[in-house]
Amino acid sequence: MKFSELSRRGPPGGKHTFQSWIVVGSSQVSIETVPVIWPSEGEVLVRVRAFGVCDADVLQLDGSSTANEKASNGLGLEFSGEVVSVGRNVSSVNEGDHVCCFVYGGGCSELCLCPQEFCIPKPKDYSWEEAAALPVAFLTASISLFELSSLKAGDTVMIHNGSDGICHLMIQMARARGVRVFTTSSTQEDAEFCKSLGADVAHVRCGFSYLESVLEFSWRGVNAVVDCLGGKHMTSNLMALEPGGTLVHTAWQDAVVDMDLRVLIERQLRVCGCSLRGMAAGALGGAA
């Protein structure tokens, strides 16, 4: 297919197809030829240059992914590429723009439809491959820190596993907004990496030892905790929060939690989850 045949004036004549990676069973992917779908109102069509692979892709492959009704059986939540066509009432993206995008599925394709609010301008100094790895991490970090936790300059946050893919980006984004950061890590090497990114305190985690340290960092408790551990850490996370604070779960090592509800109720705490695939398009508009 000639991509130049696609324009905002309307669908090109004839039938056009492209290849896409489709999940057809547990740990089974098929590369299939599918028809081009013209962008509808608020959507753009992007020629994919590179796509990223994240935890959600692995969960989708083994059948344990939780997604909303808009999720497709196409593999891939993030990619980078060039906009080849725009639908009606698209104001933030133009044909020819270089973008990196989040979608509910289908990013591992030659072409992909994407709502305009899920498109992020590709940083000029990023390669296609680097840009493709940005959307899921950036949006998860932005929503967790600034929408769900409402953090602002002068606030404090505890980020578990600060050296991992998304959390190391959270450290930098929080510091850029003037938020003080306490991180936990499993090794001294990881802790030093977190410090190099701007973390105020990088604690080497041993059991629940971080609780005493984080209360020294902020004696009333932190404004927010971003957690990817779950399990037995639940009550310690709640105790690390100041009254009225927010605990955000972005992932889990142990999905079954052990918690004391009295801590949650008496301190008027808030617990929420951040799953891009489980959110509606409007919920991502501010972050994107």
The average pLDDT across 254-259 equals 77
The average pLDDT across 258-271 equals 89
Q: How far apart are CA 80 and CA 78, in angstroms?
A: 7
Q: pLDDT digits over 93-146, tens only? A: 999 999 999 998 888 899 999 999 889 999 999 999 999 999 999 999 999 999
Compute the C-alpha angle 226/229/235, nearest 5°.
80
Q: pLDDT digits over 175-210, tens only? A: 999 999 999 999 999 999 999 999 999 999 887 789
Residue 229's H or E segment, with its range, is none
Full-model pTM: 0.81
Q: Are 144 and 248 in contact (CB under 8 A)?
A: yes
pLDDT of residue 171: 97
> Taking the mean position of all CA atoms in its chain, how far away is CA 74?
18
pLDDT of residue 145: 97
Q: Give the list of residues 6+ apart from residue 136 with CB closer than 8 angstroms, or none.
A: 52, 54, 56, 77, 78, 102, 166, 276
Asked which of 4-18, 111-125, 222-236 is least confident by mean pLDDT, the reply is: 4-18
Task: Determine what percent of the chain is predicted with pLDDT higher than 70.
Answer: 86
The average pLDDT across 18-42 equals 82
